[in-house]
Chains A and B, each alone.
Chain A
Amino acid sequence: MRSVVIDEAVVSRVLGTALQTGGDFAEVFVEDKRSSSGRLDDGKIEELGSGRDRGAGIRVVVGETTGFAHTADLSEPGLLAAAEAAAAAARGGGGGVRTVALAGQPVDSQPVLTRPEEVAKATKVELLQRANEVARSKGDAIKQVSASYGDSRRRILVANSDGLLASDDQTRTLFVVGVVASGDTGMQTGRRSIGHTMGFELFDRYQVEDLAQEAAEQALTKLQARPAPSGALPVVIGKGGGGVLFHEACGHGLEADHIQKKVSVFADRVGQLVASPLVTIVDDGTMGQEWGTFAIDDEGTPAQRNVLIEDGVLTDYMWDQLRARKEGRRLSGNGRRQSYKHLPMVRMTNTILTNGDTDPDDIVADTPDGVYVAHLGGGQVNTATGDFVFGMTEAYLIEGGRITEPLREGNLIGNGPKVLELIDAVGNDFEMGPPGTCGKDGQGVPVGDGVPTLRVSSLTVGGTAA
């Protein structure tokens, strides 16, 4: 309760009001988020910003109907008004006053060594300037550099009519460098980002100079890039940044909301072989201080490590409160929301492909011709058909088992279940990728992903070269 200043007795009364029209389940979610950011662009510190968002979202479930209301007014009258609005939205048959006895849950929030709000703004500004200087020092072809810093501290409290009361204190820190380089063939871009669920100690672990140098090198390399090939080819995906492949190829399709509405190609397939036996996929909200890590999800459930696919066999889906209640099964810690203004739904946390036992160099050497993707951009999937795309932001041609020329950007397209079967090599060099934001139904949440080097024997590469 220390995390968000709101009285337990008030929360209990609010839940009682939320249930007054006969709800089956009621929940109060309180959030107090403070953020600060800095942006350097075009050589100037353009802006330091700070923000505060504070409020509560209240939902009431009656049968299959969810009523939801949110308010920025955290006074008892404000909360009660929102509870009444949510209850009115989900009218049930019964009624009468119910009281909810709350039992506080112990929660160990992710540790923070240096609170970002206690770090001088000048120190944050200096990080941006250092990144700018290093990126610009990489040559005259570097035409533009942007760098941005952001931190947020999000304190949440969740209480529900099952008596749950839990809170978490989540601090995330992020740094991004973007570079534009110009050459004979036009402009190219490079980008690097780091982000963790931790405080300002992020910059003890990573040097912004390294990030700036890598972003600059990426842009410069791409100036020499030739058009990507067009058509089906073997594709090797490098360690780290390739996790978005699984996020799109199967992650979304394993979210229980899609499963229950039968808009997933993975519905009714638990226990079946859905991937190459080399594939074990885990969604893990407990990984130490990763971008998609937290102590409790936005429904108060402790984060968990959930094995989704084991040695190619589909073992389970991901669940939130609503979908788990419907099927009378345990919660998996995947109920998340962007803010108190949003209803929670089934979301991924950190989605990873676990290590195989092949030497990554052998995977490339065993690929006579194909494409090597060092860094992926975002992606998108249609869960009902399984068709998905993901972008390659840094890719190379593989010729005769060797990585050769850089390629221009483009999307790769595949079908989730088909691609999972076509994974024919998994390396032993697992690494987490850069921080991501997963968008679903208009809500963005921080997610992580990671993979070792792997190969898909055939994927359609969307370039323009013959």
Chain B
Amino acid sequence: MSEELLSIGDRIIAMARPGEEVEVVVGRSSSTEVRVYEGEVEQLASATSAGIGVRVISDHRQGFAYAGSLDEDVLAETLADARDNATFATPDEWLGLAEPDGVAVPELDLYRESLLKASTESKIDLAVELERVLKAQDPRITGVDSADYTDGVSEGAVVSTAGVRASSSETSCYVSVSCVAQDGDDTQTGFGFSVGRTPEDLDISVAAGAASRRATRLLGATQPESGRVTVVLDPYVTAQLLGIIGSTLSGEAVLKGRSLFADRLGEEVAAAGFTLVDDATNPLAYTSSETDGEGLASRRNVLIDGGRLNQFVHNAYTARRAGTVSTANAVRGFSSTPSVGCRALSLVPGTALQPELLAAVGDGVLISSVSGLHSGVNPVSGDFSTGAEGLRITGGELGQPLREFTIASSLQRMLAEVAAVGADVEWLPMRAAGVSLVVHGITVSGK
């Protein structure tokens, strides 16, 4: 099937004029989304979509156009649009397509025929079962507002006049569930996931257990007093934090003066136990992929090594401008030009599971979820403030549930104050993996 996408790319680059660099990204995907409510299918959506993005660079100017279609007439029109758009761009000597760099493309086995063979009925059954198992977890679970099964099959190809000719195909699926727990007048909510490449990978009990635990353990939550505390971040919260830290290490942010770590390469920016890796070659990662958005082979990049800032991530453009090589961190769909981003972040785990971390902390707050990351965290200034829910840690044990408070610090300070990384790595349907994280010196704002 990828051959077909590659051949579409071949046909467009064959239309390149002398002196013109042309890159074509072709994508095609199909998905199934099932939502179950009270034992019945509430929504069942199945869809196929496809499209191309064309990038033209001539006279050091770049233009781009995309179309959500693979119709023959649209292909030529899209190239023409991109070509026309290029004439209005400012010349930039660093512009250029990614060049093949000889790094071997890893074979990651991300495409499973068994997903394609799974019947719609079996997918519905998974969601129905998920809802049933969650309701049976605890009598205080009074509602399951959504129990979803989602999967996708995606194929992509990148073909360019610079000699790139790469294709990839992946399957992925996950179940997710969210619920309400009630006790008297008190209401709390919880959610859980399980991710995989094929339905057999999914573990309903993990998703249901997480949702039930998240919701019920917050029942009776009160607003805490304000003060400075040590926090233990639940794996899901850590994953969200890693995503923000990853954005500050983008070569684009560095070159354009938007990274707070721009001039700190080689310096200690985090506690010694903090090693941050971006590795899309790890097949356990939900976002693993054999190639990046410019068709270069995925590779393992150690961004922060034992607290020391080791490297930034780059695509072809930012690498050339920074005088280095692409780290295969071009991130895009067919409807955009390649930006720079981390692709599959994780922390090198420590040795302690969460109960041991809590015991070591003694007194503090476990943060079970955060909200408002997009509104209260500024990755340029480093200011960090989010809404939070969690439980008080007293004498090394979880105690009073807490809600309606914020946690605040700065990204710089939080990295420096990391006291421990847990052993409980959790793969999530996002670009970063979760793990428990202990951080000192966080301001809690409550009453």
Contact = CB atoms under 8 A, between A and B. Distances in A.
A64 interface: yes
A37 B62 CA distance: 13
A338 to B, nearest CB: 13
B407 interface: yes
A230 B408 CA distance: 9
A419 B406 CA distance: 16
A387 to B, nearest CB: 5
Interface string B369-393: 0011011101011110111010000
Interface in A68-88: 68-72, 85
Interface residues of A, number: 78
Nearest to B45: A68
A231 interface: yes
Contacts of B64: 47-50
Nearest to B81: A50
Contacts of A343: 43, 45
Contacts of A410: 376, 383, 385, 406, 408
Contacts of A144: 256-258
B376 A180 contact: no
Given A69-B47, A262-B143, A387-B404, A42 B67 contact: no
B271 to A, nearest CB: 19
Given A42-B255, A46-B90, A390-B372, A411 B406 contact: yes
B42 A66 contact: yes
A463 B337 CA distance: 37
A44 B252 CA distance: 14
* Residue of A63, A261, A265 ringed by the most chain B CB atoms within 10 A: A261
A66 B385 contact: no
B68 interface: yes
Nearest to A458: B447
A63 B257 CA distance: 56
B435 to A, nearest CB: 23
Contact of B387 (A54, A376, A380, A463): A380
A180 B258 CA distance: 7
Interface stretch (A22-30, A183-191, A304-312): A183-191
A72 B69 contact: yes
Q: Majority SS of interface residues in chain B? A: strand
A187 B260 contact: yes
Interface in A35-58: 38, 41-55
Nearest to B445: A230
Given A263-B145, A409-B378, A462 B85 contact: no
Q: Which bucket holds chain B's interface residue count?
A: 35 or more
A73 B313 CA distance: 39
Contact of B42 (A47, A55, A65): A65
A52 B46 contact: no
A252 B51 CA distance: 33
Contact of B226 (A43, A47, A125, A231): A231
Contact of A414 (B43, B187, B404): B404
A50 B85 contact: yes
A67 B65 contact: no
Interface string B390-408: 0000000000000111111
A45 B143 contact: no
B240 interface: no
Contacts of B40: 63-65
B46 A45 contact: no
Interface string A411-431: 111110000000000000000
B67 A413 contact: no
A314 interface: no
Interface string B39-67: 01111111111110000000000111111
* Residue of A44, A413, A460 ringed by the most chain B CB atoms within 10 A: A413
Contacts of A382: 189, 371
B89 interface: yes
B375 A463 contact: no
Contacts of B145: 261, 263, 384
A43 B257 CA distance: 12
A116 to B, nearest CB: 15
B63 A47 contact: yes
B403 A385 contact: yes
A47 B85 contact: yes
A341 B49 contact: yes
B111 interface: no
A121 interface: yes
Contact of A460 (B41, B120, B335, B406): B406
A49 B337 contact: yes
Given A261-B37, A411-B385, A463-B445, A46 B406 contact: no
B239 interface: no
Contacts of A67: 44-45
B188 interface: yes
B251 to A, nearest CB: 13
B180 interface: yes
A52 B69 contact: yes
A408 B376 contact: no
A409 B37 contact: no
A401 interface: no
10 closest Cβ contacts across the A-B interface?
A: A462-B406, A391-B375, A411-B376, A389-B372, A389-B387, A410-B385, A48-B85, A44-B90, A68-B45, A89-B44
30 contacts: A50-B65, A52-B69, A67-B45, A68-B45, A69-B45, A72-B51, A72-B69, A89-B41, A89-B44, A89-B120, A121-B84, A187-B258, A188-B381, A189-B378, A222-B381, A230-B226, A230-B443, A230-B444, A231-B446, A231-B447, A387-B389, A388-B387, A389-B375, A391-B376, A410-B408, A411-B385, A415-B404, A462-B387, A464-B385, A464-B409
